[in-house]
Chains A and B, each alone.
Chain A
Amino acid sequence: MTSTRFIITVIGIDKIGIVASITKVMADYNVNIVDISQTIMEDLFTMIMLAGVDSENFDLAAFQKAMVGIGEELGVEVRVQHEDAFRFMHRI
Chain B
Amino acid sequence: MLIHPEEILETIHMIKAENFDIRTVTMGINLRDCCHSDIDVLNKNIYNKITGYAKELVRTTEEVQNLYGIPITNKRIAVTPIAIVAESCDTEDYVSIAKTLDRAADDVGIDFIGGFSALVHKGMTPGDLKLINSIPQALANTKKVCSSVNVATTKAGINMDAVAMMGNIVKKTAEATKDADGIGCAKLVIFANAPEDNPFMAGAFHGIGEPDCVINVGVSGPGVVNSTVRELKDPDLGEISEAIKKTAFKITRMGEMVGREVSRRLNVDFGVLDLSLAPTPEIGDSVAAILEAMGLETCGTHGTTAALALLNDAVKKGGSMASSYVGGLSGAFIPVSEDAGMIRAVELGALSLEKLEAMTSVCSVGLDMIAIPGDTSAATISAIIADEMAIGMINKKTTAVRLIPAPGKKVGDSVEFGGLLGRAPVMKVSEFSSEEFIARGGRIPAPIQALTN
Residues of A whose CB lies within 8 Å of any CB of B are 1, 7, 9, 11, 35, 37, 39, 41, 46, 48, 50, 60-61, 64, 79-91
A87 to B2, CA, bound (A): 9
A46 to B264, CA, bound (A): 34
- In the complex, residue of chain A having the shortest beta-carbon distance to the beta carbon of B254: A89
A41 to B9, CA, bound (A): 10
A48 to B10, CA, bound (A): 13
A86 touches B3 (CB 8 A): yes
A85 to B71, CA, bound (A): 12
5 intermolecular pairs with C-beta atoms under 8 Å apart: A7-B8, A61-B66, A81-B68, A87-B2, A88-B253
- In the complex, residue of chain A having the shortest beta-carbon distance to the beta carbon of B70: A85
Report B-chain residues with C-beta under 8 Å of the C-beta of A1.
260-261, 264
A80 to B11, CA, bound (A): 13
Out of B1, B9, B251, B254, which one reaches A85, CB within 8 Å? Answer: B254
Contacting A at CB under 8 A, from B331-351, are none
A83 to B66, CA, bound (A): 12
Report A-chain residues with C-beta under 8 Å of the C-beta of B9.
9, 41, 46, 48
A83 touches B3 (CB 8 A): yes
- With contacts A1-B264, A46-B9, A48-B8 taken as known, whether A81 is within 8 angstroms of B69 at the C-beta atoms is yes
- With contacts A9-B8, A88-B256 taken as known, whether A82 is within 8 angstroms of B1 at the C-beta atoms is no
A86 touches B66 (CB 8 A): no
Report A-chain residues with C-beta under 8 Å of the C-beta of B261.
1
B11 touches A89 (CB 8 A): yes
B283 at the interface (CB under 8 A from A): no
B236 at the interface (CB under 8 A from A): no
Residues of B whose CB lies within 8 Å of any CB of A are 1-5, 7-12, 66-70, 250-251, 253-254, 256-257, 260-261, 264
Nearest chain B CB to A86 CB, angstrom units:
5
A60 to B250, CA, bound (A): 25
B256 touches A90 (CB 8 A): no
A30 to B197, CA, bound (A): 43
Report A-chain residues with C-beta under 8 Å of the C-beta of B68.
81-82, 84-85
A80 touches B3 (CB 8 A): no
Out of A11, A37, A85, which one reaches B69, CB within 8 Å? Answer: A85
Report A-chain residues with C-beta under 8 Å of the C-beta of B5.
37, 39, 46, 48
Report A-chain residues with C-beta under 8 Å of the C-beta of B250.
89-90
Q: Which 10 A-B residue pairings sit nearest by Cβ, starting from the closest?
A: A81-B69, A85-B68, A88-B257, A35-B1, A90-B7, A86-B3, A88-B253, A82-B67, A89-B250, A48-B5
Report B-chain residues with C-beta under 8 Å of the C-beta of A82.
67-69
Nearest chain B CB to A34 CB, angstrom units:
8
- In the complex, residue of chain A having the shortest beta-carbon distance to the beta carbon of B261: A1
- In the complex, residue of chain B having the shortest beta-carbon distance to the beta carbon of A87: B3
Nearest chain B CB to A66 CB, angstrom units:
13
- With contacts A85-B254, A89-B11 taken as known, whether A64 is within 8 angstroms of B1 at the C-beta atoms is no
Report B-chain residues with C-beta under 8 Å of the C-beta of A60.
66-67
B1 touches A37 (CB 8 A): yes
Report B-chain residues with C-beta under 8 Å of the C-beta of A46.
5, 9
Report A-chain residues with C-beta under 8 Å of the C-beta of B66.
60-61, 64
Nearest chain B CB to A79 CB, angstrom units:
5
A83 to B8, CA, bound (A): 9
